[in-house]
Amino acid sequence: MRDLITVHDQASPASPDTAALLDGATALGSAVVRPGRLPAKDVLSVHDGTVLAALGAATDAAHRSAALAVTAAQLVGFESRVAYAPCHAPGNRTSRTKLGDPRSLNNAALAADALSKRGPVAVIDIDLHHGHGTQDIFRDRRTVFVGSVHGEPTTGTTARTVALGEAAGDREYLAALTEIVRQASRFRPSAVVVSLGLDTAATDLTGRVRVTRSGLAAAGGLIAALGCPTAVIQECAGAGNASPHQLGAFLTGLLVG
């Protein structure tokens, strides 16, 4: 079994952001595999027809991106300990019935739904933006835990959601993530899905949360302590030019523990 696999459709041209993220993953020795087909029934297990109709011109790109996430979920625990899906756009704000912005399917929810067929799943969302879409999808699903650390203070903090204050750094970020991981461990998941946002990094142009590379590596280590096969789904890649280095730091922490 490999340590790390990256799922990428090599037949499709990669955007500059995706190409940079691929460089970050392959620098760690990741193998690159092509995604499988995304059955319509898998999408409909997470979203209803309203979301699919609202995709419009983004339908093809959204389905290609979702196929990366679902394939990553299918690989972890069989082909690799960690599988990374460099999805083209964040989808954690898309709920069961409402399309988020940007127009994308909820890739992490699709991965978690696929993994839930094996056993309980923990979704840990560490994107700058609150993954309220993922929480909505699994609100009544007892087999899926969803915890979130984000940088949108106006949405508030709940038992499974920690909103960081303006300019929060490593200490605040890791304290919040430690609490979410603690709750996830009580859930005893058989697999983990990470909604990875690199827009929390100190190098990001938003500057709303300032997590260093060391902080991202430590975050990976905290999640690794759960001891589960892990699918890492890319949400926002960040607005700076350091994303492959931030990704490398997080994946290194996740792989080394």
**How confident is the prediction along the chain (257 residues), in pLDDT tens digits per residue?**
999 999 998 766 667 788 889 999 999 999 999 999 898 899 999 999 999 999 999 999 999 999 999 999 999 999 999 999 999 889 999 999 999 988 899 999 999 999 999 999 999 999 999 999 999 999 999 999 999 999 987 776 677 999 998 889 999 999 999 999 999 999 999 999 999 999 998 887 677 899 999 999 999 999 999 999 999 999 988 766 668 999 999 999 999 98
Distances (CA, A) of 130 to 134, 202, 235, 236: 9, 18, 11, 12
- The residue assigned the tokens 């790390």 is 4
Q: What's the confidence (pLDDT) of residue 157?
A: 67
Q: How far apart are the first and last CA of the chain?
A: 17
Tokens 């905290």 sit at which residue?
222
Q: What is the pLDDT of residue 17?
A: 80
Give the closest residue to 108 by CA, choosing from 129, 137, 80, 81: 137
pTM of the predicted model over 0.85 = yes
CATH class, 2-256 region:
alpha beta
DSSP string, 52-88: HHHHGGGHHHHHHHHHHHHHHHHHBTTTEEEEEE--S
Residue 147 φ/ψ, nearest 5 degrees = -125, 145
pLDDT of residue 16: 76
List the chain domain ranges: 2-256
Q: Is 120 exposed, middle or buried (0-12, 13-18, 19+ CB in 10 A)?
A: middle
